[in-house]
Structure 1
Amino acid sequence: MTEIAQDSAQTPLQARIDDLAPDFVARTTQGEVKLSDYRGRWLLFFSHPADFTPVCTSEFVALQKAKPQFDDLNCDLLGLSVDSLYAHIAWVKDIEERFGVKITFPIIEDISMAVSRVYGMIHETSATTAAVRSVFFIDPEGYIRALIHYPMNVGRSVEELLRVLTALQQTDACAVATPEGWKPGDEAVLPPPLDQMEADKRSGLNGGAWYFTHTEIGQ
């Protein structure tokens, strides 16, 4: 059974960037979980349309193989679909038997679609119960820091998910921003100047402009 915090249940589709992630309690393949129990670590919370489907299988195999990298970034993985717990268990057992990959992160059963609707994984007017491929990056304080939605027929890039997670952590730690295509080890950029004096100091700095100034992360 899935339970949503009362204030969340009354405000559908409220999961937005910089909002506190709506709390819930749900059954999973690893036992009951409560979202707020993940506080203190980053969380990659993601939905998939259905079990025993080709794109989802490729993603779950890739996510499991990359789990040590997520662990190194202090980040847990939590999946969800509207399929039953028994379908989840049968699917992950079949993945292990056929592909030799044991899925060790929990997958939420959301038959009632309570979590899916609150998080906007299924639109109120949708003609199908299949959740789109949504990804929520939730920080250790429980706030949604980034979200990405994919259509059902386009698979996610685990490399991109790791890149976004790393960028969020680096920008938090160093008060910088990351430019287009940034990867770990690349230069960052300074955030917009707060006043004219700061803009003047940046003119020509590192060969850039006052509004576009590269910097090494950690400087």
Structure 2
Amino acid sequence: MSNENVPQAPALPRLNEPAPAFEAPTTQGVKTLEDYHGKWLVLFSHPADFTPVCTTEFMAFAKRHAEFQALNTELLGLSIDSHYSHVAWIRNIREKFGIEIPFPIIADLKMEVARAYGMIHPGAADTSAVRATFIIDPEGILRAMVYYPMSNGRSIDEFLRLIQALQTSDANGVATPENWQPGDKVIVPPPASADEAEARMSEGYECTDWYFCRKSL
């Protein structure tokens, strides 16, 4: 049977490759991926405006906005709702919860950004975009992506921690262990040859074995 007439799913974005470019209307004017060059970007989608889990997430992102900015990181929300719905929702959050939403929200009515980033999961949502989060570095490279189910909100603490871990790895050529926090010891890359493995134990690191060594920064 020929597959010529079967619609093909768009290619999903991949880690350590350029993030899909976009130009989209937002609550703060038209934004493009290039606008964020030189900064880290957290691009996150939500299923719909005026829904309770999404409201808690947006308020949590708003409360931590200054912490993201201190890490040279901007926030950019998205859903397939209209520009007018977004404006009404952020006004409602200000009125009912006393919280200002300081970052822009993409109105993706044509689902162009959602499709490019693989946010459309028909089996997981009765709305168009699932809860997805993408961390993009200052060169426009996709460094992390996380998907959450409809029923459960995201952890903003984890995104702050992950950005700090990525920045630490980039700056120092190291890896970070489970639940690493700033100030914790980091993992030294394992040796690439037998000779390096032989020398590793005497290089001054805190080593459990030749492949598992840590150090303080």
TM-score, reference length from structure 1: 0.90
Cross-structure match for 1:211: 211
Quote how far apart the aligned CAs of 1:133 are: 0.9
Q: How does 1:148-187 map to 2 (within 5 A)?
A: 148-187=146-185
Q: Is the 8 A contact 2:48 2:127 kept in 1?
A: no
Cross-structure match for 2:106: 108
Aligned-partner Cα distance in 1 for 2:102–2:143: 25
Quote how far apart the aligned CAs of 1:111 are: 1.0
Quote how far apart the aligned CAs of 1:139 are: 0.3
Cross-structure match for 1:6: none
Cross-structure match for 2:189: 191
Q: Is the 8 A contact 1:59 1:156 kept in 2?
A: yes
Quote how far apart the aligned CAs of 1:161 are: 0.5
Aligned-partner Cα distance in 2 for 1:113–1:126: 16
Quote how far apart the aligned CAs of 1:11 are: 8.0
Aligned-partner Cα distance in 1 for 2:124–2:181: 36
What is the count of residue pairs matched by the alignment? 208
Cross-structure match for 2:87: 89
Percent sequence identity over aligned pairs: 53
User: Residue 168 of structure 1 aligns to a residue in which SS?
Assistant: helix
Cross-structure match for 1:142: 140
Quote how far apart the aligned CAs of 1:63 are: 0.5
Q: Is the 8 A contact 2:43 2:76 kept in 1?
A: yes
Residue type of the partner of 1:93? R
Q: Is the 8 A contact 1:12 1:119 kept in 2?
A: no
Structure with higher Rg: it is 2
RMSD of aligned Cα (Å): 1.7
Q: Is the 8 A contact 2:122 2:128 kept in 1?
A: no
TM-score, reference length from structure 2: 0.91
Unaligned runs of 5+ in 1: 1-9
Q: Is the 8 A contact 1:117 1:124 kept in 2?
A: no
User: Residue 15 of structure 2 aligns to a residue in which SS?
Assistant: coil
User: Residue 208 of structure 1 aligns to a residue in which SS?
Assistant: strand
Aligned-partner Cα distance in 1 for 2:27–2:156: 22
